[in-house]
Structure 1
């Protein structure tokens, strides 16, 4: 992302739309792990008098796995709900410090995958510092996670100053996103891959979108020149 471009006005999601999303989450996404936990628990109750078998141990592992997944979903939803509280009064935020903190916290993942994170000198913006960290951390973490198997992640942050806003991009050389899902991936708990292939609960882009909108900006997805995904967002000056 080299030059300023015309971007569509932020599409605000009203309360009814968000409620519909959360109703679907409760009835579908959260119900799945609960059904698994109850079902396997009932099977174990029927067999407890006989004594544990290898199959019973497998059922216990599945119950624990379902419980952990449910907890991760709940924590993601709690993080999203906290964003609906009143944000701190915008203050000067040195994004150089924000990126350095993200780099430090994600260094273990980069080391484990042989990846790299590259970013230029960053500006100071008027924003909520904790939410800026959450936004960048979510996008960089996604870029590392959704890497091509056998290829070290190459994650690059860019920034462009425009007359009324700052435009940012987090690009990677990962698996990319099919353009037909460019809008859908910002919905809470939306996942395009199985947990076995790419673990996670699908809240990173949801949080990023909420924060970008709260800062007078927008967020969108483009193909990355690196071969993967470029998640771009703007922040008002």
Structure 2
């Protein structure tokens, strides 16, 4: 008797294949639209120019969304090896990558000594970079971002939190923001595709931890998560 396929596993494979196969045509659509824009004579009307720019912009956004879905599906289909990861180095690298944004917004960033954990290095970078990037992006217009990492040692888990003084999230949407492509703001206000917290949650759960949201003591958002010691 043949083994019955697991519907959940089949869906994961399907999502990966669809996301992967869609990425190529979307890239081609954007590239050829840009070539068309550069090679055509001056558009007859401003509307023609606007329509072509909207095609390119929409294609780029679709490409970003597919990229996010592909990254999400890869967490299910691509095995990752775990090693002893120095989170001190991971956070320091994230800080270096985000330093230009912090300088531009006059932001402040503080973090304590960080432990070592058994994890996938790249996925830990994804977690911290995504959460820190969100803390900068979703700042209040009239305030410099103030971002603080905290780390507490429990019996079986390390508990981390990233707090900010930004715009926060209404508690009624705490569950929604972990869903793929879920956004609470328009691209004009806060650009993005709505996959950061989705990927972060997926990674934390895959490592045997948990993640939750609450208001921060600074008036913004506090994202807390745990990882096994």
Range into which the TM-score falls when normalised by the shorter chain: 0.7 to 0.9
Equivalence for 1:7: none
Aligned counterpart, 2:91 = 99
Contact 1:87 1:128 survives alignment (8 Å): no
Match of 1:167 among 159, 162, 176: 159
2:191 corresponds to: 199
C-alpha distance in 2 between matches for 1:18 and 1:168: 34
State TM-score, norm by structure 2. Answer: 0.81
> In the alignment, is residue 178 of structure 1 matched against residue 141 of structure 2?
no
Describe the SS at the equivalent of 2:149. Answer: strand
Shift of residue 91, structure 1, vs aligned partner: 1.4
Q: Note closer, same or farther for the CA distance 1:18–1:234 as it changes in structure 2 (3 Å cut).
A: farther
Task: Tell me: CA distance 1:208–1:119, structure 2 relative to 1, closer, same or farther (3 Å).
Answer: same
Match among 134, 154, 157 for residue 149 of structure 2: 157
Q: Which blocks of at least 5 consecutive residues in structure 1 are unaligned?
A: 1-13, 42-47
What is the RMSD computed on CA atoms of the aligned residues? 2.7
Give the distance between the partners of 1:58 and 1:180, measured in 2 at CA.
Answer: 38
Match of residue 9 from structure 1: none
- The 1-side partners of 2:85 and 2:133 are apart by 21
Separation of aligned partners in 2, 1:220 and 1:212: 11
Which segments of 5 or more consecutive residues in structure 2 lack a partner in the other structure?
1-5, 34-39
- For these two proteins, the number of residue pairs brought into alignment is 203
Give SS of 2:77's match.
Answer: coil
Corresponding residue SS for 2:98: helix
Q: Distance in 2 between matches of 1:133 and 1:90?
A: 13
> Secondary structure at the residue paired with 1:61?
helix
Please, what TM-score do these two structures have when normalized by structure 1?
0.79
1:29-44 equivalence runs, <5 A: none
Query: Which segments of structure 1 move beyond 2 Å, counting only runs of 4 or more?
Result: 14-20, 85-90
Q: How far 1:87 moved relative to its partner?
A: 3.9
Residue equivalent to 1:120: 112
CA distance in 2, matches of 1:150, 1:68: 30
Q: Which of 132, 136, 142 does residue 140 from structure 1 map onto? A: 132
Q: CA offset at residue 86 of structure 1?
A: 4.5
Q: CA deviation at 1:89?
A: 3.2
Question: Structure 1 CA distance, aligned partners of 2:163 and 2:213?
Answer: 10
Counterpart CA distance in 1 for 2:83 and 2:191 is: 35
Q: 1:17 to 1:202 in 2, by over 3 A?
A: farther
